[in-house]
Amino acid sequence: MLLHVGIYLVLGVALGYVGGLLGIGGGLIAIPMLGLFFGYSEQAAQGTALVMIVPNVLLGLWHYIRKVGLDLRLAITLAVTAVPFTFVAARIATTLPSKPLRIAFGVFILAIAAQMAYRALAHKKREGKPRVLPWPFAAIVGAIGGSLSGIFSVGGAVFAVPVMSTFFGLSQVAAQGMGLALVAPGTVVSIATFAAAHDVDWITGIALAIGGVYSVPQGVNLAKRLPERGLRLIFAAFMLASALGLFFRA
């Protein structure tokens, strides 16, 4: 037991660093890893990862606000509109078969990875200023992102990052902070829903969370220093690896 807890603590440190770097709370990597290497069902992997995701997301958001500076009007709009959709979608997710849910999650993050890689590689060829949507449109992003968070636990943050950078004119690092703002309140709703369905391994989740809290600030600091194009490519690479892991497990 102690050995297992130690392994999860070390894994939590690595996932927290990645979560701070990419603005996804580490859950994007934790969910396929728990399923692929530790035999968790998709629902149990998502519910257990949420125990780590909640403190990582809150801590990461705080550091993004302090070090990057976020538009609070956009952030609050995303957070408020996401909550009810997260609750409904999480209730649905706990009733779905594990294998189709895992495949759907893999397809989803693979599509986001492809879009992000394209934007990174085509970055220098684009001319002119991007078209920026007015802030009320963030409510639509919050609703869709909240639904994806309920179904996939970290789907909202993964969805919000490219949308906020593409349609709201935010830098990659600021968009990652907005992704955390969207999922922050919804993660609490989701973990309560998965726990009620007995899809949470608390010992594993708490060990991951303790390790993650230690390393999230270092990941945020690195994200702030990396060039825009490099950060997008890293984001896409991690999502591609996660998608392949999910398909392999399924």
> What is the residue extent of each domain of the chain?
2-249
How many alpha carbons fall within 13 Å on the CB side of residue 176? 32
Whole-angstrom Cα distance, residue 72 to residue 65? 9
pLDDT for the residue numbered 231: 84
> CA-CA distance, 67 to 118, in Å (whole number)?
27
pLDDT (mean) for 194-208: 92
Statement: residue 64 has pLDDT above 90 = no
High-pLDDT (> 90) share of the chain, %:
19
At 127, the pLDDT band (50, 70, 90 cuts) reads: very low
Q: What DSSP element (H or E) covers 165?
A: helix 155-167
State how far the alpha carbon of 217 is from the alpha carbons of 42, 65, 237, in Å. 28, 12, 21
CA distances from 250 to 19, 31, 62, 174, 243 (A): 24, 13, 35, 34, 11
d(CA 15, CA 7): 12
pLDDT digits (tens, 9 = 90+) for 78-91: 999 999 998 898 88
Cα–Cα dist 55/42, whole Å: 21
102/147 Cα distance (integer angstroms): 16
Question: Dihedral sign, CA of 236, 242, 243, 248?
Answer: positive
